[in-house]
Structure 1
Amino acid sequence: MITLDDCLAFCETPPAVVEEIAKQQNLPLMLACACAQGGSDGTSDPGNVEAPAPNLT
């Protein structure tokens, strides 16, 4: 099983930035780590991270 510590270790984004993304986007740390690593647009720029829009269809 992959733990939060594993995700933070593999993520290129500093843990403090991941925590800030989690706080700003109201996300669990695990998901914030994934967003910080890949970004919503495929980049690894944490400034571009946005929560995906819900699929209402």
Structure 2
Amino acid sequence: MALLAYSADRAREEGLAGLTLTTFTEAPWNAPHYARLGFCALEEAELGLDRRPRVCMRRD
């Protein structure tokens, strides 16, 4: 959690619009944990970026 908080603080300082991350879909706790923190899964397969078993997530 400290690394994520630090990353969010740095992103704000740099004027970035959001954070992105990738996590494994096969671990049932990963994506739901990040969703609770405000991250939403991106539809990367539409862009030709399907990287299963991972999911790309973003938080503004």
Q: State the TM-score, normalized to the length of structure 1.
A: 0.31
- Bigger radius of gyration, 1 or 2? 2
Q: Counting strand residues as a fraction of each chain, which structure ranks higher?
A: 2
Considering fraction of residues, name the structure with more helix: 1
- Scaled by the length of structure 2, the TM-score of the pair is 0.30
